[in-house]
Structure 1
Amino acid sequence: MAKLKIGVVPYMNAKPFIYGFQEKADKIDIVYGVPSALPQMLENDELDIILMPSIGYFRGAGYKIIPGSSIASNGLVESVKLFIKAPSINKIRTVALDKDSLTSCVLTKIILSKRHSLKPEYITLYDKRKIYNEYADAFLVIGDDAMKVREEGFTILDLGQEWYELVGLPFVYAVWVTKSESQLQGISELLIDAKKYGLKFVNEIADTEAERLKMGKNRCLWYLKESIKYNLGEQEIRGLKSFYDYALEIGEVREGVEIEFYNE
């Protein structure tokens, strides 16, 4: 029987989803990829399931969301930040967007447009080390890197908090997705059980991640337990729909996309 190939982001926030899979290496292959790379890997049939960036789902076709889990925040997220070099937010003219990101690039545009009435020029941030240079007025950085930037000299916008203040709903960064025609018996239960298992061992995960990232364990533990939310309930789905509506308004997605769930 072929192994199940699961694509996930390499960041700390995904580790509770896959912690239990290390004991199932004979049945499951875990493949790591940045958010901007995973959708194409699913499209090319290199993977069976991916942790799909929300905007990737709305831009794609022939995908369904596996219910029960997401990577979300309900306020501060800590790992999706806009680092502002300009003297004030209203002086932002150029924004460099993290090349690894899809969803947070669109979120940045929504926040700056709808919350701060700004329409800057957007360019790509290829090398995160260059955010300390002043070639842009603001820099979007995502994932573990966003938690490790030296913040002196920047004004910081946490985009999870900015979204919550704009909409009053959780923001969903990624969801489990497979192709509509997939035949994956028991996949919803497998992923939900894995999440529950990982969250039971969040202390152990925090230990490992603190060592890997050279960060304090308490900060990792707070992030995994408080900042990141892992469910996909009614409020998260409302937040996801709201994100689609805003993305449509600014021309980032096509009309008529529905949220469809995978039924085994």
Structure 2
Amino acid sequence: MTRLRLGQVEYLNCLPVYHALEEGLLPLDAELIKGPPTRLNRMFLEGGLDITPISSIEYARHTGQCLILPGLSIAADGRVASILFFSRRPVTELEGKKVLVTTSSATSVVLLRVLMEHYFHVDVEFCPCAPDLNGMMSRGDGALLIGDDAMLAHRQVIEQELPLIVTDLGQAWKDFTGEKMVYALWVIRREFAAAHPGETAAIAALFQRSREMGMADVPALIKKAFRRTGLPRPVLDDYFTIIRHDFDQDYRHALLTYYDYAYKSGLLEERVKLQVWGEE
């Protein structure tokens, strides 16, 4: 068998799952390939990765190519702190305005579209843009950022006292639906899982163990995250409290609710069934 190729989102939301693997605390005979969500999505779908966290919306669009690894996601119950919309005026007053959306994200862009249509009830022009708050706000009336980019931009708004409203899309989704939100899933290529069931079981268990070890040592996560981003330690402590990596029945129901709204908005061509490895 060729060496496993594993995707790793280069944001703090993946750190609890990958910390033990990065530090060699668990054995891993695989190549870790880092990148933003959209790059890893593309690599996986083109055959360049065997396993990766994939944007939730991209799983829905490509269910025939992959299976979900059990018990693992990137999620939050309400406020998420790293999926943020910045605007000069309240979102409900953006009718007809231009908003810039990061090219690093897929799930969050669809989430914003759903919220604009079904919750805020405004029709806006969406324009993709590189993730840079100043550049985005110079071109439009709102900006969607995700991950570390969003958290750093939020600090900029606070420290520079910028006249911007910051809307947490996780909280907006919770206010709208009462549901949690699943932003990404770990998936494996169907042909790999079929050809290598033992290795698939082993890597699924390894990810679970790595997550457990990561969340058992939050001070180490905060130390590493501070080195990477410079974000204040209280902000990091808060973040590792609210970010979740579960995928139980509540999170599954929440994800299907998201897919249902994406379908209603014409952003999915058909309704989605979740196919989890080991549950066929």
TM-score of the pair, normalised by structure 1: 0.94
Structure 1 unaligned segments of length 5 or more: list them.
none
| AA partner of residue 112 (structure 1) | M
How far the C-alpha of 1:46 sits from its partner, in A, is 1.7
How far the C-alpha of 1:89 sits from its partner, in A, is 3.1
CA contact under 8 A between 2:256 and 2:272: conserved in structure 1?
A: no
CA distance in 2, matches of 1:232, 1:88: 30
CA distance in 2, matches of 1:98, 1:256: 26
| 2:164 paired residue number | 154
CA distance in 2, matches of 1:113, 1:197: 40
| 1:178 paired residue number | 188
Equivalences for 1:1-264 in 2 at 5 Å?
2-22=2-22, 23=24, 27-60=29-62, 61-86=64-89, 89-92=92-95, 93-131=97-135, 133-149=137-153, 150-151=156-157, 152-182=162-192, 183=196, 184-225=200-241, 227-263=242-278
Partner of 2:245, secondary structure, is strand
Distance change >3 Å, CA 244–CA 88, structure 1 → 2? closer
How far the C-alpha of 1:123 sits from its partner, in A, is 0.5
TM-score of the pair, normalised by structure 2: 0.89
| AA partner of residue 82 (structure 2) | S
Q: Which has the higher helix share?
A: 2
CA distance in 2, matches of 1:46, 1:103: 21
Structure 2 unaligned segments of length 5 or more: list them.
none
- Greater mean deviation of Cα atoms: 122-131 or 30-39: 122-131
CA contact under 8 A between 1:50 and 1:178: conserved in structure 2?
A: yes
CA contact under 8 A between 1:3 and 1:26: conserved in structure 2?
A: no
How far the C-alpha of 1:88 sits from its partner, in A, is 5.8
Residue by residue over 1:223-253, the C-alpha shift from the partner in whole angstroms, topping out at 9 and shown as x without a partner, is 012x201111111101100010000011111
Identity %, equivalent residues:
27
How many residue pairs were aligned? 263
Distance change >3 Å, CA 121–CA 50, structure 1 → 2? same
Residue by residue over 1:183-209, the C-alpha shift from the partner in whole angstroms, topping out at 9 and shown as x without a partner, is 224232111111111111221011111
How far the C-alpha of 1:129 sits from its partner, in A, is 4.3
CA distance in 1, matches of 2:110, 2:87: 17
CA distance in 1, matches of 2:205, 2:188: 14
| Alignment RMSD (CA, Å) | 1.7
- Greater mean deviation of Cα atoms: 66-75 or 20-29: 20-29
How far the C-alpha of 1:163 sits from its partner, in A, is 0.4
CA distance in 2, matches of 1:162, 1:190: 34
Partner of 1:231, secondary structure, is coil
CA distance in 2, matches of 1:132, 1:250: 25
Partner of 1:230, secondary structure, is coil
Distance change >3 Å, CA 48–CA 219, structure 1 → 2? same
| AA partner of residue 47 (structure 1) | L
How far the C-alpha of 1:31 sits from its partner, in A, is 0.8
